[in-house]
Amino acid sequence: MAFAQIVIGPPGSGKTTYCNGMKEFLTKIGRKVAIVNLDPANDVLPYEAAVDVSDLITVDDVMDKLKLGPNGGLVYCMEYLEKNLDWLQGQLAKYQDHYMLIDCPGQVELYTHHNSVKNIVTQLTKWNFKLVAVHLVDSHYCSDPSKFIAVLLTSLSTMLQMELPHVNVLSKVDLIESYGKLAFNLDYFTEVLDLQYLLQHLEGDPFLKKFKKMNEALVGVIQDYSLVSFATLNIQDKESILGVMKLVDKANGYVFGDLEDRNMNALMSCAVGADFEYFKAASVQEKYMDKTHRRGDGDDEDDGGMAT
């Protein structure tokens, strides 16, 4: 039995950086880690890939020979990999004693309604891999209510399509307000609280106001499923990485041994008990968000008291 993270998310969400940072962290606590690159368009890797799909096929070659665009080329590559799973099985067999980080392509359609990645994941499960999907989205989308609703829909669709234990992560949380102040406290977004308050902000936009009924329907779908929540991640912060690691290990059933526990304690320079919780939303907010200029200050009556 081997354990692995399927690292997915839109382009620019930080998947490759996450794999590199998580490998460095896990290696320091004594875990044998191998990174598998399944993105045939990722030709500049900051890490050494144990298995690289580019050895089988690349998007550039497909675009050149079949005259396809980038999206069509990427879909073709994943379908080609699906037809050549014997190659993937042979490559992975060399690292059965490793914990694997599988760096996947960023094309959202591959996880929302196309079946190639889903079929590859299903086969990995049959090969006795214990998998968890780590879905990264850029945290700055929280600053735009309409974009945050789109992120929620994408995350929900991905969870339903992939059919795996799932950890959604707001990446680059240290830059969360780089594109604007948040309307509410951070826990509103991480716990996905009552989305009716977001609809009130959408109604203030003259363009979006005419889509009121559609927005209400979309929010209703998200809340009816009630599946989406987020962890937060700053890949430069070891406490943040540890928090995500604990969630992932819990999701796929990985249990580390005494040596790894001692190494972790030494790395963190503090005792890490089973019930110790790192990097909660309040801590992240205090660390990275400007509370003095939060939108909604003084408007608690209008927005349900969510703003500070």
pLDDT value, residue 71 = 93
Point out the least confidently predicted range of 12-16, 17-21, 165-169, 266-270: 266-270
Average pLDDT of the segment spanning 235-247: 93
211 by Cβ neighbours in 10 Å (0-12 / 13-18 / 19+) ranks as middle
Does position 272 have pLDDT exceeding 50, yes or no? no
Domain ranges of the chain: 2-194+228-293
Average pLDDT of the segment spanning 228-257: 92
pLDDT value, residue 302 = 41
- According to CATH, the superfamily of the domain at 2-194+228-293 is P-loop containing nucleotide triphosphate hydrolases (3.40.50.300)
Does position 305 have pLDDT exceeding 60, yes or no? no
- Mean pLDDT value across the chain: 87
Does position 137 have pLDDT exceeding 50, yes or no? yes
pTM: 0.87
Q: How confident is the model at residue 266 (pLDDT cuts 50, 70, 90)?
A: confident
Does position 113 have pLDDT exceeding 80, yes or no? yes
Q: How confident is the model at residue 63 (pLDDT cuts 50, 70, 90)?
A: very high
pLDDT digits (tens, 9 = 90+) for 5-57: 999 999 999 999 999 999 999 999 999 999 999 999 998 899 999 999 999 99
Does position 270 have pLDDT exceeding 50, yes or no? no
Three-state SS sequence of the chain? CEEEEEEECCCCCCHHHHHHHHHHHHHHCCCCEEEEECCCCCCCCCCCCCEEHHHCCCHHHHHHHHCCCHHHHHHHHHHHHHHCHHHHHHHHHHHCCCEEEEECCCCCHHHHCCCHHHHHHHHHHHCCEEEEEEEEEEHHHHHCHHHHHHHHHHHHHHHHHHCCCEEEEEECHHHCCCCCCCCCCHHHHHCCCCCHHHHHHHHCCHHHHCCHHHHHHHHHHHHHHCCCCCEECCCCCHHHHHHHHHHHHHHHCCCCCHHHHHHHHHHHCCCCCCCCCCCCHHHHHHHHCCHHHCCCCCCCCCCCCCCC
pLDDT digits (tens, 9 = 90+) for 184-224: 899 999 999 999 888 888 777 777 777 888 889 999 999 99
